[in-house]
Structure 1
Amino acid sequence: MILNQDEPEDAEEWQKEPSGHDTQTALTRAYVLHPDVKSVRSRRLPEHGLAEAVSLAGALPGLEVVGSEVVRLPKLAPGMLFGSGKVAELGARLAGLDVGLVLVDGPVTPVQQRNLEKEWGVKLLDRTGLILEIFADRARTREGVLQVELAALSYQRTRLVRAWTHLERQRGGFGFVGGPGETQIEADRRAIDDQMIRLRRQLEKVVRTRELHRAARRKVPFPVVALVGYTNAGKSTLFNRMTGAEVLAKDMLFATLDPTMRGVTLPAENGAGRKIILSDTVGFISDLPTQLVAAFRATLEEVLEADLILHVRDISHPESAEQAADVADILTSLGVKAEVPQLEIWNKLDLVDDTARAALGQRAGQGRGILALSALSGEGIDALLEEVSAVFDEEKTEALLHLTFAEGRRRAWLHGEGLIEAEEQTDDGWTLRVRWTARQKGEYSAL
């Protein structure tokens, strides 16, 4: 049985019109560069970083990637990013390929961007700009669009300094008396700040609506299970397999941007399975722009509300372990509690050979809370559903608690978690009979 638990982002359903990219016929020829700076340590191999950057470019409609390369550098040049010899060499290559857009997989300062665009005669985007373009193309719900616009303005504001040629000082009045007026850059910055304030107010309304939906869900004691993982790990395919939904699932980075939720009834031997709410979230990525981390925190709050986290890994990827480390770092930065149980899902078994599949299955069987499966073929899905059910069927014990009136926060938490079996008010507080798991008892003790 599948329960549809989708919720509108505001009082009424709102959908962004499909991006104009969909109808674009002339493709922009793009070239991808991955700077490998000797002095900068990374957990990734530069070749794998380049492959991810090419995949990012492929996720944006209207681009045709005609070439890519790793550029090894002893250090970054402040004015041009690359040394003069490398700039000339790359310029000749770009001209020969008739490139119109260069994508640099890393940060590029406004000065470096301006100089390189002038030198090569092309448009240039850094990693942050490219990801913002992808998010702007994919966002469909009102919250998603507002968050993208807010992130883009935040990014644009940081690139005002010396970024444009028209930012000369403007005179105030006729210039006969007093000093000069404000600079064009100050006017632009103020306009961006005003727009960001308006967007934040609109976003706050949408977030409040989402919080009302979450509060309503808490009264119906359905646990929330959140799917998290590196982008393109197969979360949406797994979501569709578990719920029977038809969420967009493609072999593409950031195929899912807006959060999607469905109700699911887990299998049970007695036929009365537990109901859960499954949440599909935006994929994580290494070096995610700080503007996007801040702007999408409201979306990722679904993870903070989760009773169980399913960390989905693309086990066929050569850097699956490094991707898992990136996801763990982001979960920690979001403030996900260590007490929240997690299951690690080794997905895409269908993409590994038989020998490796058998070895992965054996390793997963030996590890606690690890399951190997293929969301595409359905292999291992039944075992996953049983494991999820077992997490919520943890052994529960009863306890008698005596709380004073000063401990109202603890009492509210017990009510919010639905753990109170009986309650009686006393002269100095409350006596409560609760039924909880060891994990819930630990969370209560930490309050």
Structure 2
Amino acid sequence: MTQQRHIKLGFILHGVGRTWNDWRHPDRDVNASTSLAHYQKQAASAERGKFDFLFVADSLSITEKSSPHYLNRFEPITILSALAATTSRIGLVGTLTVSYSEPFNVARQFASLDHLSGGRAGWNVVTSWLGDTAANFSKTEHPAHALRYRIAGEYLDVVQGLWDSWDDSAHVGDKDSGQFVDPDKLHRLDHKGEFFQVRGPLNIKRTPQGQPVIFQAGASDDGRNFAARRAEVIFTHAPTQEEGQAYLADVKARAKGLGRDPDQLFILPGIAPIVGDSDEDAEARYRELAALESIDTGLGFLSRTFNDHDFRQYDLDAPFPDVEHIGINSQQSATLRVLNEVRAENLTLRQVAERLASPRGDFVGSAETVANRLQTWFENGAADGFVVFEPLPGQLDLFVDRVIPILQARGLFRTDYEGTTFREHLGLPVPENRYSVGKSRKSAA
């Protein structure tokens, strides 16, 4: 009997909010992005709701025009390590760039988080798209888009190789014999590649779930290829169900073409559900949120998308400016989405900014309405689950208390965690240690 598929759910820890003006809501804590108490409360709510994971996004470059959450925020591994101590089942996923870090350090950090949490770590592998990030890391220029993905492929090879440094039984700890480690079960990587030379072994034993879960957010062609080849979970942007269906079908087809089981790759669009007592009440709450925003908010989104380009210099009601050359080496998929809409509908800068300032999404309504739309997206191949933002204070608890029970009653979401590790929640296998596999094959021969 085939086990029924369940919706996967993550919650993104986004402090003062995802836009430029969310922080102005009367009930929003203006210090939320650096408040351990705030994140502990959200983590407890998400775990009470049996969410699969918490997710921390990141960026390594800001300007005075960056959104408030990114101006003042925790580093991902730090806050997730703190939350590991106050949660017991929920996964802990952090964003860390391959363009401005070293594989050995990253392998060690996520292995440590996996041990601290009892097997609940996940790594969101990103290449960084803001060009001025290079200036914070003693570099003269930001790597080109295609080059960043070449770096990412080798980087991930190194990190996953380091995670296999120890056989599962390498840590002996025999006080009578005085043997702490079996040297035959401790392995040097000795990697020498195009970008990295890393000897190993890693100075922490293999983790409870074998290796942390690999996340990715590839949307460009290079990104989709990388995600189809290497990711286990993909965090994506799908404004409509139709776009979600097209993205899911494309990436899973690429994964299958690479010899992967597409059912072992989960695609999760980000959503910002607004739950009300009725559909009309939810619409009123959305208008309450939209009223905080302005044209300047939309211009801020555009600026971030196009590598911090200043859109405030242009006439709002003139044709959209020629900026394709600016975005091509940054957030490529997002810039192309904007430019395609501009061309298709002949939009002005004002019209684009208005759309971006107050995105409504498909998940505004009563608990029943929101549950119905989640089910529709899930059952019609637009998503394997969702990464949930909290657009208004209190919405996470409303989602947990009202929407999740409906999904559970329909058999679409778990009523309890499947095990103790993140991989067990997701139904993903523990990766075999490459060295142990090699030994077993030699023995069989």
- Scaled by the length of structure 1, the TM-score of the pair is 0.26
- Scaled by the length of structure 2, the TM-score of the pair is 0.27
The structure whose RCO (Cα within 8 Å, separation 6+) is larger is: 2
